[in-house]
Chains A and B, each alone.
Chain A
Amino acid sequence: MDKTINITLKVWRQRGPKERGAFESYKLDGISVDTSFLEMLDIQNEILINQGQEPIVFDHDCREGICGMCSLYINGHPHGPDEDITTCQLHMRKFKDGETITIEPWRSAGFPVIRDLMVDRTAFDKIIQAGGYTSINAGGAQDANAIPISKEDADEAMDSASCIGCGACVAACKNGSAMLFLSAKVSQLALLPQGRVEAAKRAKSMVAKMDELGFGNCTNTGACEVECPKNISISNIARLNREFITAKFKD
């Protein structure tokens, strides 16, 4: 027999971007500890729908921690109390019987609420569109050994590339800064010869876009790094600062 727990959910409900939101409480009994957090919300929504009420709106897609779609600020942590995982990988065994779980949307001026727990993260797409790519004609794939890349750089670039753009860094930041996201996206290309060609231009235009969209100034608290589900290091932010400052001095 599975172990089950009884919980109370305190969920942020907001009907639209311009409407005022408020918390609503729901009692949920007999939840198996093996249930994932999003499955638990599905169970709650099923109950709401059967009662003829509006289900709780939240973002989700792949449910295996790689798409960056799920969000949720759970009990004071983006992606909940567990470490280095996304909300969809969080399980109810992390909660105690009788616990009240507070679920909120990402709160930052850069991420306005669309409805309930769903926020608008288009700003991240706009930052990527400002330069988070290489604009070369790819042609046929060349021999893998034709461009030598050190193991250290390859590893570092892969680590930076693991950013899924979920926005937990912005949600955790007291300054609403998107620097961790931006620095990962700049680093994954700046570390490799293919991305190096446009590195200076990329750093400048992506930072300009981030500032234009109203994200805050990084004050190095490191909250982003702690809450990042993919363990992106703030050493990427130092790299971004370096890329940006040297690019500006070369102008």
Chain B
Amino acid sequence: MSWLLNSSIGRKFIMALSGCALILFLLFHMSMNLVLIFSVEAYDMICELLGTNWYAIAASMGLAALFIVHILYAVVLTLQNRKARGSDVYASSNLSPVEWSSKNMLVLGLVIVAFLVLHLYDFWYKMQFSELFHLEGAEPHGSVIAIDLFSNPVHVLIYLIGITALWFHLAHGFWSMFQSVGINNRIWLPRFKVIGYAVATIICVGFAIVPIFFLAKHFLCSSCM
């Protein structure tokens, strides 16, 4: 199976598969978040389920591995591509009309990683990590952290920036993953692009609703909290 590492198509195959798994994770994560709007109790029950149980920890490790593979390969691919492109740059700027996101996947990825670090500190560190290592200030109730965090407009804004970067990343990533594994043709290419925009929009709107909802709730009716 050395072709996965040694060939350009093999490396892209890995990017596509890890990206696909990450999109499935995002869909799950987004659905889970939406529960918080309808029921705080149900949300905390899910948090408990995904707390320090062995299967939740195993899944977290698997997820971390996926992220690391996706990011490492992104860096390796970008460095190789820079080298292949060479150091001579065009004096006239490249005017080929292409999707903006397709040219900036690494930058968008870096914004998402920066957001991810903040997000892990906000939630995962205080929940699963602190509980696992019996640190002080462990908070098993995700709802408490979320509602407190999203009452701060600056924090909500940072989250929305992260979600926006994710939208652009997914808008190119979704159809690109089908292209890279070879499941694509003239008819399906425009279809995958449209489905990709839909999936990216569903995921990002789903994510964005929760912080906006709790920010609005905090300011409009602090009595009902």
Contact = CB atoms under 8 A, between A and B. Distances in A.
Interface residues of A, number: 53
A227 interface: yes
Interface centre among B8, B95, B105 (most CB of A within 10 A): B8
A246 to B, nearest CB: 8
B90 A217 contact: no
Contact of A245 (B80, B90, B102, B182): B182
A179 B180 CA distance: 11
B122 to A, nearest CB: 31
Interface in A192-208: 207-208
Interface stretch (A39-47, A54-62, A229-237): A229-237
Interface stretch (B9-17, B22-30, B201-209): B9-17
B11 A217 contact: yes
Interface string B181-197: 11111100100000000
Given A77-B95, A235-B184, A108 B12 contact: no
A173 to B, nearest CB: 8
A219 interface: yes
A96 interface: no
Contacts, number: 149
Chain B, interface SS category: helix
Contact of A102 (B88, B92, B105): B92
B91 A238 contact: no
A243 B172 CA distance: 23
Contacts of A241: 9, 12-13, 179-182
Contacts of B90: 73, 76, 104, 107
A129 interface: no
Contacts of A223: 94, 96, 98
Contacts of B97: 226
Contacts of A246: 182
A77 B96 contact: yes
A158 to B, nearest CB: 14
Interface in A43-99: 73-77, 81
Nearest to B102: A221
B94 to A, nearest CB: 6
B223 interface: no
Contacts of A81: 95
10 contacts: A74-B92, A76-B93, A104-B91, A172-B96, A176-B84, A207-B9, A218-B12, A235-B184, A235-B185, A248-B10
Given A104-B91, A217-B11, A218-B180, 6 more contacts: A74-B92, A107-B88, A109-B85, A210-B8, A242-B183, A245-B182
Which 5 interchain pairs have the tightest Cβ spacing?
A: A242-B182, A216-B84, A76-B95, A109-B86, A238-B184
